[in-house]
Amino acid sequence: MRKRPASPAPPPITEEDRRLFQDAIGPVRPHTPPEAPGIVPERPAPEPRQFWLDEARVRDELLDMPIDPAEMEIGEELSYLRDGYRPELLKRLKRGAFSIADEMDLHQMTAEVARSAIVTFLADARHRGLTCVKLIHGKGLRSRPGGPVIKRLVDRMLRQRDDVVAFASARPELGGTGATVVLLRHR
């Protein structure tokens, strides 16, 4: 690697150069730092303006909500995941990630008829290689004080079957809590 030659030292400043410089800029006064800093005004407390705007927007959105909160079905959902399966599977089922291959409507059936129909339907679905089916049982709105008979029957039966991996109440557009989407084990 070659060394660069040292740059020559600047020529010395002559008295003539100093005088020309001072004539060009005029009179100057030396800078002296202040002895004590001036009084700094007290800063105002920060205002969370964006938070207030967000809160106002939420209030307005709630007033214009397209969904009636009274129609939301809270606490009536059926949900089950067999031990040994990842929770993401149930989340995907609830979101509607699986295509429903067949469905059965249990309306107007007695508990005994519904039990037999469910057994036959699920056996047929497994035989045909279906993995996702829907049982329409209704919400039990006209049930006696004991609650929705067929819905509870579906819940009990599906939990006891070895071929059921998971089940959950259907999405609102597919029947909501009046239907159950069932994920069956692969053959």
Task: Give the model confidence (pLDDT) of 15-39 as tens digits.
Answer: 998 888 888 988 888 887 767 667 7
Calpha distance 81→84 (Å, rounded): 9
| Predicted confidence band of residue 118 (pLDDT cuts 50, 70, 90) | very high
Nearest to residue 102, comparing CAs of 126, 86, 71, 68? Answer: 126
Map out the domains of the chain as residue ranges. 80-184
Rg of the chain over Cα atoms, rounded to whole angstroms, equals 39
**Between 1 and 18, where is the model more confident?**
18
Higher pLDDT, 79 or 60: 79
pLDDT at 41 over 60: yes
Q: In 10 A of CB 109, how many CB atoms?
A: 18
If pLDDT is split at 50, 70 and 90, which confidence band does 2 have? low
What kind of fold does domain 80-184 have according to CATH? Ribosomal Protein S8; Chain: A, domain 1 (3.30.1370)
pLDDT of residue 70: 46
